[in-house]
Amino acid sequence: MQTQTQTIRKAFRCAFPHTLPIFAGFWFLGLTYGIYMNVSGFPFWYPALMSLTIFAGSAEFVTVNLLLGAFHPLQALALTLMINARHLFYGISMLDKYKGTGWKKIYLIFGMCDESFSINYTARIPEDIDRSWFMFFVTLLNHLYWFSGATLGGIFGSLIHFNTEGLDFVMTAMFVVIFMEQWLKEKQHISSFIGLGCSVVCLSLFGADHFIVPSMIAIFVLLTCLRRPLEKGETVQ
């Protein structure tokens, strides 16, 4: 029999390596974000507070502009809903995985950023590891990386000079690997192609700042139309 502490410790040890690429990526992005806040004239506790409470990278970058502009709270809310609409699809995908995780569920949902979702969805968690603690630590570590990066960036601001050009590619590399992991697991690749295809088409049509919501709609419509053949494929193989 394992004691509770042993279970928790084992889950932490198992979860930690999965978060290492995110440590690199979040420190880089978090520092950048903190520095951006710093040079925009905000004291360090702004990025600290925002990284802790918002914990959604792209929304936080946009918030800097919102804070510098005129006071439009409803516009801020609407803009955030648009930027973060993709979380709705993450939630639908995690309904089952987050089931039965007890009190941790609230935090797992609160911290469901792109990276936490991707790791928690694809990770091959060994049988003897407690799933809910594993996912809890993935989320918590990601949250800590982002918070510490943003806070340090806010404190040291423009004092930081080191050549990190290209380090942001760590996030791209991680999502490529996650995409491949899913590819190797799935029986058919139609949905993967739909995701890539719709995003590329919408990116070229609507541009970098406005393609997420149209892509989501296109993905949603196509997957709904293809429900029958896709479900059949599930049961045949």
Partner 1 sequence: MTVFQQFIIIGMVVLGTVLTRFLPFLLFPAGKPTPKYIQYLGKVLPSAMFGMLVIYCLKNVSIFTGSHGIPELLAIFLVMALHMWKRQMLLSIAGGTLFYMLLVQWIL
82-141: contacts with partner 1 (CB under 8 A): 84-96, 98-100, 105, 109-110, 112, 114, 117-118, 121-122
Residue 155: CB minimum distance to partner 1, A: 19
Residue 177 engages partner 1 in binding (rule: CB under 8 A): yes
Residue 150 engages partner 1 in binding (rule: CB under 8 A): no
Residue 136: CB minimum distance to partner 1, A: 15
Distance CA 42, CA 154 (A): 8
* Between 2 and 164, CB nearer to partner 1: 164
Residue 199: CB minimum distance to partner 1, A: 4
Distance CA 1, CA 156 (A): 48
- Which position among 24, 138, 141, 150 is part of the footprint of partner 1 (CB under 8 A)? 24
Distance CA 125, CA 135 (A): 9
* Between 2 and 88, CB nearer to partner 1: 88
Residue 24, C-beta contacts closer than 8 angstroms, at least 6 positions apart: 167, 170
- Interacting span for partner 1 (CB under 8 A) from 30-38, 67-75, 130-138, 143-151: 67-75
**What's the Cα-to-Cα distance from 61 to each of 29, 118, 191, 224, 237, rounded to whole Å?**
10, 21, 30, 33, 45
User: Are the C-beta atoms of residues 205 and 211 closer than 8 Å to each other?
Assistant: yes
